[in-house]
Amino acid sequence: MLIKLIKKGVVWAFVGLLFALAAGLSPARAEEAGRVKTITIAVDRYGPVDQQTRAVLQQQLAEAVKVLQAQANATRLIAKLIGPAVVHIEAEVLGRRALQHGAARPVEEAGSGILVQLDGKTCVFTNRHVIAGATPDKVRISLADGRIIQPLRIWSDPETDVAVMEVGVSDVITAPLGNSDEVEIGDFVLAFGSPFGLSHSVTFGIISGKGRRDLDLGDSNVRLQDFLQTDAAINPGNSGGPLVNLNGEVIGINTAIASSSGGNEGVGFAIPINTFLFTAKQLVEKGVVTRAFLGVTLDARFDYQAAQQAGLQQLVGTRVVTVTPDSPAAKAGLQPGDIILRMDGKLIENDAHLITLVNMSEVGKEVTLQVLRNGHIFDVKAVLVARPQNPSQG
C-alpha cells in the first residue's frame, strides 16, 4: 500500500512539473511559487503577513487603544485612591450552623468594609450579616497597611443590613462618599473587597439595574430593600465592601449575590450609599433608627389587570387596602381603593417601593402624594410621624 502511495505521489509531482514547464517556469521556481502560495493562504487566515500592511495596522491600533488606555488609567487611579480605605473583617460569632448536641460553637465570619468619616468619627461601613452577633472584642479589622485593629463600638440595623463600627484610629485613609440618587443604569463601577479571603481585590463592571426589591436573601431579615444591581464580580467575602463610581466615590455597599452555584454569576447587589447613610447617621447619633409612618395597608396583589381596570395603561403605583385611623394618611384624606402613583414626584413602582420610601424618610417630613381615585388624579399632603412598634405596613 505504501509503495502505491509513493508511486502516486511521484506521478502527481511529475504532472505538476510538466504544467510548470508548459507555463515557462523552471522546476525550482515552480516549487517556490507553490510553497509561497500555500504559506500565504495559511497565514492570511489570521491577518496580513506583509510588513507594510502590518505597520499600518500597528499604527491604527495605537490610535484606537488610546481610549481604552485612558479608561485603564482611570480604573488604576481609582484602585490607588480607594484601596487604602478598604478593610478585611473577621468576626467570631455563635452560629446556628455550628449547633451540635445543643451547644453553639464559635463560627468565623468574614467580609469587607470601607473606612469613612461620619459625625466626626472614623468608622467602618459594612453589612450587618458580616458581624451579626459579634462583640467588639471578637471582631478583627485588617487595614491595608497590615495593622489589625478592633472596633470601639458596633451599631447595626437588621431591616437594612447596615452595620457601622467606630474605630479608635485617626491615621488612616478614608473614602469619599458619592450620591447614589445620581447613579444611572450603564454607569461604570468598581467593586472592592475580599472574595474568598483574597483581600483587596478589585473588579470592574456597570450598574445593570436599580430599585431591586423582594430579594430572597436566605436567613437575612432585610425588609427594606432598594438595591443597586451590578455585573462587577461579587463573591462571598465581598459583603460590606464598597461599590465605587468613576469619580472615586463610594455609591454603594456590596451586600448580596444571586447565584445557584454560590459564586459570581454576573448578578450582584449593593445598598445605595444614600440609603446606607440614612440609617448609619441615626445609629451613630442616637444608637437607634427611627422610621417614618404613613398609616396605610397596601395591596400586594395589585397587578396589571387591576391597573387597567383603574384606567392605567401600565402597572404603576400601589393600591390602598386600609387606612389607619388618626394616621398621617387618614388626616390627608386617603381612602381604601386609592392608588398612590407618586411620592414627592417619584413614580411608585409597587407596594414595596412605597414602603421603602416612607421608611427612608425623615420623621416630621411633609410629603406630597399623587393619588388616583375614580379616574381622577389629584395631590394630597401628609406629614409623616414616627413608626409605631407594630405597624401593618406603611
Neighbours of 71 (CB within 10 A): 13
Q: Which residues are catalytic?
A: 129, 161, 239
Type of residue found at 305: Q
